[in-house]
Amino acid sequence: MPKFPRACLFAALAASALLSACSSGDDDVTTTTVAGSIVKGPVVGANVCAYQAAATGKGAQIACVASGAGGTYSMNITFVGDVVIEATGGTYTDEATNAARTLADALQTVVSARGGSATGVVTPLTSVAYNMARAGTGGLSSATFGTAATAVGTQYGLTGVNLATTTPVVTGTLNAYGQLLRAVSQYVANGGTLGTFLANANPTTLQASLATAFATINGSAAPFATTPTTPTTPTTPTTPTTPTTPTTPTTPTTPTTPTTPTTPTTPTTPTTGSTLTINVTAAGIAAPAVVIQNFPKPASQTEFCGQLTGSSQLNQFSSAGGTLTINSCSFNGTVGTVNATVAIAVQGFSQTIPYVATYTFN
């Protein structure tokens, strides 16, 4: 197999260093205010953290706050890109039992931070969509999360409801979203577990159990179909007519043995490559993704990381007045991640820049 080219790795690293150096001024910082609610019912005192989104789920942590009354939270982040919001801990009143509970299972949602404001409501249903997206083709992004959230809403009778921006109302005058979350609580009270519900990547497998729970706690039928159509009983086949005994065939003449054909030369198998997508984030700023077609994929983490840690090209930063230190490198067969630090010192200006480069082979 061809060696994994070093040039693309170092091109991404050099681009990230340049991007960070050019954007180091305060005037270039993009701030996004992310706000929403943690609802299972409303969770007070939860630890709410923002993480850079990665194909497999969470990347580097950005910031954390505690949820307040009604489960609400708000935080300002300077990272630009897709962000995972995760909530753990805190307490809420279980709608099925009216008992105080601790949020033991982490809940997630995904937002796109591009400046201004973004809403991130966190519920068990957004967590199901999060797990579906990161397990799907291409991994987790705000786009794949949105597609999964729409599918989950449709599966459970919430067609047209944006699960990540609509606040569920679970007490008083309920909305449809709130009724469904109450059904999740009843599902757990009936013997299920919240962890099982969150990890289920195929919502249809829990529809029957959730429909029963919905009717119990809300006093009305679930707004989604659960009973399959009864199949039609097949018609009894007609007894076949006994076939006539066939005439014994004449023994055929033995054919002449054909000449063995010459074995063709096995053609050389052409080398095929993958589609490589490079995403670089430096000092919290995401560079535009680079996509390269027909790119040879490394056979192992040793090959992927060895092209970096064993290369003399790291010294190119010294000649430019800086140093590059690779802190960690991993490769799982599809996604490679490089965490590093660039130290720049040019004409009296110095800065240390953290960055993450992700290489996804499809």
Mean pLDDT across the chain: 82
Distance from C-alpha of 190 to C-alpha of 331, rounded to nearest angstrom: 42
Q: Residue 300 is encoded by which pair of tokens?
A: 């192992």
**pLDDT tens-digit map of 329-347:** 999 989 999 888 877 766 6
- The separation between the first and the last C-alpha atoms of the chain, rounded to the nearest angstrom, is 17
Lookup result for tokens 């404001």:
117
Of 11-15, 46-50, 148-152, the poorest mean pLDDT is in 11-15
Q: Are 290 and 14 in contact (CB under 8 A)?
A: no
Report whether pLDDT(55) > 80.
yes
For residues 326 and 268, the model is more confident at: 326
SS3 282: strand
**pLDDT tens-digit map of 16-37:** 444 444 444 445 789 999 999 9
Query: What is the predicted pLDDT for the residue at 261?
Result: 47
Report whether pLDDT(138) > 80.
yes
Report whether pLDDT(170) > 90.
yes
Model confidence at 313, pLDDT cuts 50, 70, 90, reads: very low
Report whether pLDDT(230) > 70.
no
Model confidence at 57, pLDDT cuts 50, 70, 90, reads: very high
Q: Are 183 and 222 in contact (CB under 8 A)?
A: yes
For residues 123 and 233, the model is more confident at: 123
Q: Are 346 and 122 in contact (CB under 8 A)?
A: no
DSSP state of 202: -
Top-ranked range on mean pLDDT: pick from 79-88, 220-229, 351-360? 79-88
Which residue(s) pair with 323 in the sheet?
343
Lookup result for tokens 């400046």:
115
Pairing of strands 116-119, 32-37: parallel
Distance from C-alpha of 180 to C-alpha of 172, rounded to nearest angstrom: 14
Q: Are 31 and 77 in contact (CB under 8 A)?
A: yes
Closest among 32, 17, 35 to 78, alpha carbons compared:
32
